Chains A and B, each alone.
Chain A
């Protein structure tokens, strides 16, 4: 009976983007707002209740690689054009100029905001931590593993143990940093590179990585010689991973065109959603 009523797909948001959506972020202070960044440099803010677009801007010149919200409900976006820009979607018109912009040395791949301090970290070939309260556009500190040079694909602040920062890089490493000593603490090298990292919001020391070898791994930060769990089911590289706010479930996005939902403690996915049904749906839309 439960399977008979299974209808996971609800809708698509507004008209979507013109180019691919490569980054999304939800507003931690709101249940219905989230932002998405696209391959053509456009950042849009969506409303879940109306399922429509509420704000839009041509934020960057090329691919927006990361977006995140600050605790005071402003939006940060970083892109491969070496800039980070601060936006105010709640109080400004669409296409308004950015409230601030920060320049970097390399193309940025990912951005994350500190839980309570006005600081954010962006990843290029190293991690630069910027202070939002200071007007200067140069980083207040930079972090990198002494021997690593490859570009860092994703970075995430721990939201409970707030000065811990973790990153994944193309050189297959997962590195943890501590802001208090402003130094890297631990490096874990896997067989293949990881694409994304997410901290468990309830168990501060656990994190999950989305790996190129079709699996996702959950690790304990304190004991990384063994994974807590291996999530096996995808048939292509896993591109993104996130814990549910309860920390009990995970969602992964994959290159095999599906998203999968997982129980934290089980090795195989609870459910798989794919866009086939969607595509059929789209053909019924009136073409403008």
Chain B
């Protein structure tokens, strides 16, 4: 038996009462919190699951010997020392992304670049007298400030 529930902007989904989780594979996350010790992160998503994550992905909570601690510190120092090198930086930054997120990111970057290019072209063909001052990236989204 299946039934359909309307659920927000994700459209309708098919639910199988015998299996708790709908068939399509991913859901929006609506809530995220740090735990009070800031070691873990909690997330609550559209599919009804509350998930627990490590705040530092490679961190382990067990008691560490002095030697292990020294090793971790040394590794961190090495990463810091060599993070300007392309190979190290690539490893440090690379994350596996779900395909839709990666694709959306690529499309977004392309569109933003197009907007920027267009603005630059307009600026190039505007006389100096009419040229507007460039807006700061950190002030762009502010429309008004009222007291």
Contacts and interface: CB of A to CB of B under 8 A. Distances in A.
Contacts, number: 254
Interface residues of A, number: 88
B52 A11 contact: yes
A201 B98 CA distance: 33
Interface in A24-51: 24-26, 28, 30-31, 34, 36, 38-39, 46, 48, 51
A107 interface: no
Interface string B16-57: 001111000111111111111110111111111111111101
A284 interface: no
Contacts of A151: none
B30 A240 contact: yes
A10 B31 contact: no
Nearest to B52: A10
A2 B26 contact: no
A6 B57 contact: yes
B51 A9 contact: yes
B110 to A, nearest CB: 12
B19 to A, nearest CB: 5
B12 interface: no
Interface string A42-81: 0000101001000000000000000000000000000000
A39 B47 CA distance: 10
A20 B7 contact: yes
A257 B58 contact: no
Contacts of A244: 34, 38, 55
A152 to B, nearest CB: 16
Given A2-B75, A20-B30, A272-B95, A191 B141 contact: yes
B93 to A, nearest CB: 9
Contacts of A261: 41, 55
Given A34-B33, A249-B55, A1 B50 contact: no
A112 B79 CA distance: 41
Interface stretch (A97-105, A113-121, A122-130, A211-219): A211-219
Closest 6 CB pairs of A and B: A21-B44, A253-B32, A6-B57, A17-B48, A253-B29, A235-B104
